[in-house]
Structure 1
Amino acid sequence: MHLALYLSDTGLHAGGWRHPEAQNHDPMQLSTWLSLVKKAEEAKFDFAFIADKLSVDDIYGNDIAATIQYRPGYARPEPMVLLTALSLFTERIGLGATVSTTYGEPFHTARTLATLDHFSAGRMAWNAVTSTNDGEARNFSRQQHLGHKERYQRAGEFIDAVHQLLASWQPGALLADKDSGVYADPQKVSYTHFHGEHFQIKGPLTVAAPPQGRPVQILAGVSQDFKTVAARVAEVIFTVQPNRERARQFYQQFKAEMATLGRMPDACKVLPGVMPIVGATQREAEEKRRLLDELVNPLAGLSFMSASMNYDLSQHDPDALFPDIFPLISGSKGRFEYVIAQARKEGKTLSEVAKAYAASASFQVMAGTAESIAEEMMAWVEAGACDGFVLMPADMPASLHDFADYVIPELQKRGAFRQDYQGSTLRHHLGLARP
């Protein structure tokens, strides 16, 4: 199976930073991130991935107070700068980060990615996201976030433009031939001439062809608009799947959609997020999960959900039944269709759902021994539910160390995960062909 690390200084669980074992190192110190990435590289992860958001969330109550007080994660370095630094102190592990297609430009993105792929000797990936809320829009001189369908139309065009720019230089274009006086072969450098609804770009790129041909393309989501783009261009997708059967259905449907577009199933790796909570015994793992859940402040969940939905939940009674608001959501839609339907079916209050969502963000939680977690992960892959996982540590660094020190050796013992890297590029780790 393939394994990616969701790289966070505090972990995903909203109670993780309050856990007694949490260290809460300064996120603006490179050593904080480097220690985590080096641990992942020692464990032979395919790659580490850094998420990003372009605002401090203020959708809940139109104020940053709830977010700043109860949810860590906003005092963080710019991801591309961080990846540059991490690439200099690592050797084999792949490195990826989020790039907004709504608040970015293809030329700038392509140049940055190509440069980083050179500096890392072919270990880069990028997750093209459409961003989620009006807070981000207001940081880019707009008052309102683009609609869901328009965002994904722009995203598809943005990705195509980046790919064409990266292809404007062929391998071997740089000659530096002193005798002939020819520095670059003009037959191997071409204009891009990209003409779309959102972008018109002449090109060519100002960076030579990157080692991987182009960095690995990641997309994240579960909505139909997402799948339409992902089936055509994604090489890795991150999904949110609450159980194995729903993951299996999504996996089979997505691979079928790829086939209708003439793509081979192994040309894209499907990696749902998983939060393992490891204990020496089942009881110990469940006790740690219980403690983590108790440490979640409901306001952390309400602000988190509001920002992801781009909908202010403060206008509803937190102790009332979760409101039927799915048609009003203009942010992330795919995951909340299931969350809202289940909440109303089970009679859950808004506060109850918010607290549970802040604990796992609807990702699968596997609490148990290293042996039971390894067996469950293998069962997902063997059932045709995924090609591997994105590890979403509950707290840092303890959850990462528990997984790397105890679960990965169990996977290796069963022949389900690599003993060592066999190649040097991320494409090689993932078994992806050069474009």
Structure 2
Amino acid sequence: MSRTRTGHIHLGAFMNAGPGGVGGWRHLDAELGWFSPAYYQKIGRILEAALFDFVFFADTVGIPRSFGNSIEDHVRYGVGAPRLDPIPVITLIAAATEKLGIGATVSTGFQQPYNVARSFASLDHLSGGRVGWNVVTSFQDAEALNFGNEKLPGRAERYDRANEFLEVTSKLWDSWGDGSLVLDKASGAFADPTRVHSIDHAGKHFQVQGPLSVPRGPQGRPVIIQAGSSVEGRDFAARWADVIFCSHESIESAIEFYADLKGRAVKHGRDPDHIKILPAVTPIVGRDRAEADRLKREFEELVPAEAGLARLSYHIDVDLSRYDLDKPLPPLEVKGVFGHFREALEVSAREGFTLRQLGRWYGARTEGNLVGAPVEIVDRMEQWFDRRAADGFMTIPTHAPGAFEQFTALVVPELQRRGLFRTAYEGATLRDNLGLPRPEARDLRRRAAG
């Protein structure tokens, strides 16, 4: 079913605060400035000039040991390490931009709701209403071991904690009603105490009195980004997320996912148009298809098979080094990101890959198959948008900042020529530019009395 064309494609950018992917850092045009503010600020300015909705940073709080039960290959190839804390990184980008949204990943597994609510409310004020929180539950036992735990809880328990975590942070963001600040110098009235309330949350995982020490931000609440693809993850995303980040090897699986998430949102009493679904794409753009294919081959040559398998092992949290690399991917019980495993299964079955071949593919995969001249790439984006497989796309660079520069110079103008993408930002906040309403503050005093 095709959509009636309303609105436009949304564009997000996915990054790591460190080397991206596996072989991208080896690219001749890649900059290695991961520890420099100028590197991130340059990328922010490139994306803002191209009118991207936002850039967000993935994160983990541990170096993986998924491949060979060792950090060796992960460190050797830069798979999941190093990673800077994304909060100061997005703060630097906010200082260098005016309209670009900024998002950071924070896990509900190793934090407390009060600290997270305070950080993102503060960033929402300091950025003028441009912040987003990518909510994850973590999927690596290597992360749990850094916080005094031998292993992560099961998926159901992680999402149970995450649901309560979001309940608490939402209450905290609403604990200052709109209009709480008076700031009347003549009378000395700083704020209206009748509009500021404790939350008095007592739940299974958290006991939080509140109120938050930061007034309600320009967006009311930060934009919530989420990437769950398991049954629990999908339901969590449908309940809480404003933006859903996903990966699909085919348009058919993307259409199924899109319909399922929108339907789940309705069951949670939400307007499905208030959830933006952005599949991952890794564009490789050439002046013509021959040049794009050459650039793709050159990128693939940068990735050793073991590096790609270390990356897949990390994403699905299964040690693939235990299996014969010259045989196909075996049946597995996946503890990590189910969406990545589904992708690997789909392409492995279609191409008849051995594990070694799958590693080369996964390490240099170009998600979304956006390889070609600008017209070819936009044809495919338009098809996915019109067939309700996507509300937009999360662009992942093969190398930074060069891949972003190529995409913004060659693809964005073609999107604009077809009326598929904005020619100016619609508003001042990230919610404005995503076409999302500002949520009203709940009356916590009335809820407590009831």
Q: What TM-score bracket applies, with the shorter chain setting the length? A: over 0.9
Contact kept in structure 1, 2:285 and 2:372, CA below 8 Å: yes
Give the Cα separation in 2 of the matches to 1:191 and 1:152.
25
> How far has the Cα of 1:342 moved from its partner?
4.9
Q: Following superposition of structure 1 onto structure 2, how do residues 31-430 of structure 1 map, counting pairs within 5 Å? A: 31-71=38-78, 74-325=81-332, 327=333, 329-340=334-345, 342-343=347-348, 346-360=351-365, 363-430=367-434
- Secondary structure of the corresponding residue to residue 135 of structure 2: strand
Moved more, 104-113 or 84-93: 84-93
Cα gap change, 1:147/1:208 in structure 2, threshold over 3 Å: closer, same or farther?
same
Query: Matched residues in 1 for 2:67 and 2:374: separation?
Result: 38
- Report the CA distance between 1:291 and its aligned residue: 1.6
What is the TM-score of this pair, normalised by structure 1? Answer: 0.95
Name 1:16's counterpart in structure 2: 24
Deviation at 1:49, TM superposition (A): 0.7
- Determine if contact 2:64/2:80 at 8 Å carries over to the other structure: no
Q: Secondary structure at the match of 1:14?
A: coil
- Change in Cα spacing, 1:125 to 1:55, as seen in structure 2 (3 Å) is same
Distance 1:401 1:179, change over 3 A: closer
Q: What secondary structure sits across from 2:299 in the alignment?
A: helix
User: 1:420: how far off?
Assistant: 1.1
Contact 1:13 1:292 in 2 (8 A): no
Is residue 28 of structure 1 aligned with residue 32 of structure 2? no
User: Which residue type is aligned with residue 362 of structure 2?
Assistant: Y
CA contact (8 A) 1:10 1:17 kept: no
Q: Residues 6 and 50 of structure 1 are in contact (CA less than 8 Å); yes or no, is this contact kept in structure 2?
A: yes
Contact 2:228 2:236 in 1 (8 A): no
What is the alpha-carbon distance in structure 2 between the residues aligned to residue 308 and residue 198 of structure 1? Answer: 27
Q: Distance in 2 between matches of 1:386 and 1:338?
A: 17
- Where structure 1 has 5 or more consecutive residues not aligned to the other structure, the ranges are none
Q: Following TM superposition, where does structure 1 have runs of at least 4 consecutive aligned residues deviating by more than 6 angstroms? A: none
CA distance in 1, matches of 2:16, 2:114: 28
Residues 253-262 or 231-240, more deviating: 253-262
**Deviation per residue, 1:202-259 (Å, 9 max, x gap):** 1110001111101101111311111111111111100111121211111112111212
1:335–1:127: structure 2 CA closer, same or farther, 3 Å change rule? same
Paired residue for 1:431?
A: 435
**Residue range with higher mean Cα deviation, 362-371 or 227-236:** 362-371
- Take 1:72 and 1:306, find their aligned partners in 2: how far apart are those partners? 10
User: CA 1:383–1:157 in 2, change beyond 3 Å: closer, same or farther?
Assistant: same
Q: Secondary structure at the match of 2:282?
A: strand
* Counterpart residue identity of residue 341, structure 2: F
Distance 2:58 2:21 in 1: 15
Structure-1 residue corresponding to 2:448? none
Residues 191 and 203, structure 1, Cα contact 8 Å, conserved in 2: yes
Sequence identity of aligned pairs in percent? 40
**Range moving further from structure 2, 420-429 or 55-64:** 55-64
Is 141-150 or 67-76 further displaced after alignment?
A: 67-76
Which residue identity is paired with 1:264? Answer: D
| TM-score (ref. length: structure 2) | 0.92
Change (3 A) 1:7 1:334: closer
| CA distance in structure 2 between the partners assigned to 1:347 and 1:388 by the alignment | 31
**CA distance in 1 between partners of 2:251 and 2:54 (Å):** 23
Tell me how far 1:344 sits from its aligned partner: 5.0
| Aligned CA distance change for structure 1 residues 133 and 9 (closer, same or farther; 3 Å) | closer
SS in 1 for 2:364: helix
- Decide whether the 8 Å contact of 1:11 with 1:394 is kept in 2: no
CA contact under 8 A between 1:324 and 1:340: conserved in structure 2?
no
